[in-house]
Amino acid sequence: MIRIENVSKAYVKDETVVKALDGVTLKASKGEFIIVKGSSGCGKTTLLLTTGGLLHPDDGKIIIDDQDLYTLSPQEMAEFRSTKIGFVFQQYHLIPYLTILENVTISSMAHHGKTPGEKAIELICDLGLEDRIKHIPGELSAGEKQRTALARALLYEPKVILADEITGNLDDKNSAIVLAKLKEFTNSGGTVMLVTHDEKAFAYADRIIELEKGQKEMTHN
């Protein structure tokens, strides 16, 4: 489902070239839950962003569902992301003046008029948010915000979920809810790539990949 082939990405800072990714190659199969871990600055988030079509690599290929992402036009890329990839970030990216239901269904605008119907409400309830459905983000706990963001990512049944440090602000109970929902997604055939240093998440993974200085160092089953 995901093929990352010899991907490199460098940044220039104060006339110094910093290699965030240095020839990374890895694959993730349909129905697989992989975790990418490593120390701060090792390239984890850069890898996630390039995999999701949000950051163009300097070299290499990203192929998702047999599509070479960086051969697409900007419009094609946006369409591909909206139908194939769900994103969940640590900072939630919720719109502050919209309710939970409105935040979950906001992506419907990218789906050419498709109505979310009962699916959004079903996801919200499944994630234990039925009592908060008309609340705005400022009235929610960190765990409730993260569950809202996850419901939004799952609404249109993407092929892949890309998640970045999503349990970092959560207590054990909310972490377990979020991770169990991701595992359920992979059990139904989806693919998850989760960037995290949270050891509580490791038990949910099929594979754990470690990055060190922009390179894939090892894989743990």
We report the CATH number of the domain holding residue 69 as: 3.40.50.300
Cα torsion 119, 125, 131, 135 to 10°: value is -40
**pLDDT tens, N- to C-terminus, the chain (221 residues):** 999 999 999 988 777 888 899 999 999 999 999 999 988 888 899 999 999 999 999 999 999 999 999 999 999 999 999 889 999 988 889 999 999 999 998 866 555 455 556 788 999 999 999 999 999 999 999 999 999 999 999 988 899 999 999 998 888 988 999 999 999 999 999 999 999 988 999 999 999 999 886 666 555 55
- The predicted structure's pLDDT at residue 8: 95
- The predicted structure's pLDDT at residue 212: 82
Rounded CA separation 132/137 (Å): 10
pTM (predicted TM-score): 0.90
Number of compact structural domains in the chain = 1
Q: Is 31 helix (H, G, I), strand (E, B) or coil?
A: coil
- The predicted structure's pLDDT at residue 75: 93
In terms of C-beta distances under 8 Å and separation of at least 24 residues, what long-range contacts does 36-40 make, across chains too? 36/193, 36/194, 36/195, 36/196, 36/208, 36/209, 36/210, 36/211, 37/195, 37/196, 37/197, 37/202, 37/208, 37/209, 37/210, 37/211, 38/197, 38/210, 38/211, 38/212, 38/217, 39/212
Q: Residue 134: phi, psi to the nearest 5? A: -100, 5
Q: Which domain holds residue 13?
A: 2-220
* Cβ neighbourhood burial of 103 (10 Å; 0-12, 13-18, 19+): buried
Structure tokens at 80: 């591909």
- The predicted structure's pLDDT at residue 219: 58
